[in-house]
Structure 1
């Protein structure tokens, strides 16, 4: 029989093991943020945040400009993820090993700070990242293996699949022609052995003449139809491209680098483009704004004297002449666009329309900026009504609907909104 002391020891050991067991289990159970949940409401709200702030550089299950995001709360804690999203540069500067390694892996690409996102926004975003738009792992792996350009713009089929399909169709057509040729040859030999009239025998024995085929009405009609279809398609594509300058990247009078200023130095867009939150136009900065910094920063090349590009700013100030920047983003005069309405009221990030501007050495037009592109955005973008009294009445009127309040619900598809 066990003594009383032995029983006490066993009980203490059992309690110790139990505490350790629940501690280990608890660290796994409670490591996940309870606010990161798999609910339709959180996922829908998180998708809106993702599309507005992250979609340009990230995908859930595939590397893009930045890493694939799904599983981030498995690799790191949810609190770490929130801190990184809000200010990645601060996390990297703190010496965090994982953040530093990630920064190096993606060529020291700086992610813009998102300090304006609330805790609810971040929780919803992480819920969408972990549980939203799940795809088949095998399909995702196949797409990732094909590379970023492996998806066809129209139907979402990888280009190598399209090539294989076309090659297979060509081979099948060739096989059909060969089989038909063999059948005709066998039938001709068989028919020639029969007792035929002179006219029938002449018809069966006639030889194929390419010249007659090229001059035949059927061949001329087919070729003419193909040429007309090709010309019509070219003309229609040309008409659809009128006024579309996607990818346009003109040479500027001063080699200004957004990658350096907005990316590395993290200068906010609003510092230079002063009208973006208060008016229709974002404003092109005057030389005086440049001189706020370049009165002191004169040489970016590490040599004595003033950099040639910075000297151009000094010359513009001395001669009292504006810098003749070349406009990159042009909307037709018939279209009305208000920056403050989108940036200040709507809370839209600059990157939503202008792309990863913080990575561009030479600014280019990232989006198509067509009417269809704008309308599609109005159909899908949800209204951020939190803390904005302007939308209180609209939210109340929309409360009976199960769908989220979107731009299309407040007149975003009305012609007079943009064409006045």
Structure 2
């Protein structure tokens, strides 16, 4: 009897004691990866979003309950669980996607990140996406500044002419009071014949030179603008808002543009990717029924037709660009080239994307060598230099890198 009681006691303790959430760096890092891939679209750690704030969930709920809810929330709700039913109603019956592919160990890693990770989110990192985008926006003097400089120079020139006119007037009055010969007085008081000035060879040469210079500058500016589509903002077949999705909802760019870290192209998302969310989200907040724009996605899926998105960023065929090399290896933020994409209702081409623009970036951008043994030898060879190792130092200015 005592033996049976001991087994029962051990069983009770086993169910009563939840496994401890690890605060190890390895567990937090693994959990962060899982959170970004599966949870970030709908959840924040410290505030309500599409779903509830998650930090502290291991104190509010049993670990076993959390594991079941993460794997299949609808199953827990349909079982009549009071906490799950209340949570479902609180967030407008929004269905949380099931994650049956996550193991119990994965959920524990996820909890490690939820409880101990993400502390840096409260303080924005220095030199973030906005700083990168601002730094990449222009490599020269902005045209507005050039206009101001030219205007100031014109004003200064006019002031100089006025001052010279006053000096001439004062000198003329002074000399007229002096005892001078008649010829000298006639020379001093002579009037400028503007007709002769306008017909003079010197004036014609100066005007011709100015006109030729202006025409040449206009022609050169026109040639430099060939193929440059900075500011291009076409109307898309579906009014997709990056401000809503990437900004307000903080959906990572990589979720929709799946090829950005593994290939040359970032990939335009297919309707199936849209349906991952929009099979649950069918309308605009505060409105009933399916949104007309979302309905277009349904129509494309039902008719097995691709959505004919209009390409915004185009590079000439003679230029090679690889997204994965820049994003995955180089660690370049999307905003560095595409600007504040999370603020755009309609996407536009933010940067010039010219060869000069790329080369200027290669001259200024530091190589992120930390934790990458591939660069160890290069870092060692470059150690004597005062400057940090930049893209230009590893062949970033070689013609064949982009033109093959």
Tell me what 1:86 maps to. none
Shift of 1:185: 6.6
Indicate if the aligned counterparts of 1:152 and 1:158 stay in contact, CA closer than 8 A: no
1:153 partnered with 2:138: no
1:361 shift after superposition:
0.8
Distance (Å, rounded) in 1 between the aligned partners of 2:236 and 2:162: 54
1:42-90: CA deviation from partner (whole Å, max 9, x where unpaired): xxxxxxxxxxxxxxxxxxxxxxxxxxxxxxxxxxxxxxxxxxxxxxx64
Q: Distance in 2 between matches of 1:288 and 1:339?
A: 22
**In structure 1, distance between residues paired with 2:47 and 2:119:** 21
Deviation at 1:186, TM superposition (A): 6.0
CA contact (8 A) 1:192 1:201 kept: no
Of the three residues 202, 208, 232, the one matched with 1:224 is 208
Distance in 1 of aligned mates of 2:141 and 2:373: 44
User: 1:269 deviation in Å?
Assistant: 0.6
SS at match of 1:387: coil
Shift of 1:403: 3.2
Deviation at 1:351, TM superposition (A): 1.0
1:180 aligned onto 2:164: no
Larger Rg computed on CA atoms: 2
**176 and 320 in structure 1: CA distance in 2 versus 1, 3 angstrom threshold:** same
Q: Is the 8 A contact 2:230 2:352 kept in 1?
A: yes
**Deviation for aligned residue 1:391:** 2.5
Any conservation in 1 of the 2:257–2:266 contact (CA below 8 Å)?
yes
Partner of 1:315: 299
Shift of 1:157: 8.8
C-alpha distance in structure 1 between counterparts of 2:279 and 2:250, whole Å: 19
Partner of 1:101: none
The correspondence for 1:263, drawn from 233, 247, 255, is: 247
The one-character-per-residue Cα deviations of 1:182-230 (angstroms, maximum 9, x if unpaired) are 545765x57996255xxx9987776543322222212111111111111
> Which of residues 301, 317, 327 in structure 1 aligns to 2:311?
327
Deviation at 1:320, TM superposition (A): 2.2
| Counterparts of 1:275 and 1:257, CA distance in 2 | 20
Contact 1:249 1:362 in 2 (8 A): yes
Which residue, 333, 342, 350 being the options, matches 1:358? 342
- Structure 1 CA distance, aligned partners of 2:220 and 2:146? 24
Q: Distance between the aligned counterparts of 1:377 and 1:355, measured in 2?
A: 14
CA distance change for structure 1 residues 292 and 366 in 2, over 3 Å: closer, same or farther?
same
Unaligned 5+ runs, structure 2: 1-43, 54-113, 129-139
TM-score (norm 1): 0.59
Distance 2:290 2:274 in 1: 14
- Structure 1: which 5+ residue stretches go unaligned? 1-88, 95-114, 130-150
User: 1:84-103 deviations in whole A, cap 9, x for unaligned?
Assistant: xxxxx645668xxxxxxxxx
176-185 or 272-281: bigger deviation? 176-185
- Cα distance change, pair 118–156 in 1 and its aligned pair in 2 (3 A): farther
SS of alignment partner, residue 349 of structure 2: coil
Within 1, Cα distance between the matches of 2:227 and 2:152? 35
What are the within-5 Å matches in structure 2 for residues 13-52 of structure 1? none
Output the TM-score relative to the length of structure 2: 0.61
Aligned residues between the structures: 284
The change in CA–CA distance for 1:191 and 1:218 in structure 2 (over 3 A counts) is farther
Higher relative contact order (CA 8 A, sep 6+): 2
Contact 2:172/2:189 (<8 A) preserved = no
* 1:18-417 mapped onto 2 (5 Å cutoff): 90=45, 153=142, 159=148, 166-181=154-169, 183=171, 189=176, 194-196=181-183, 207-300=191-284, 302-417=286-401
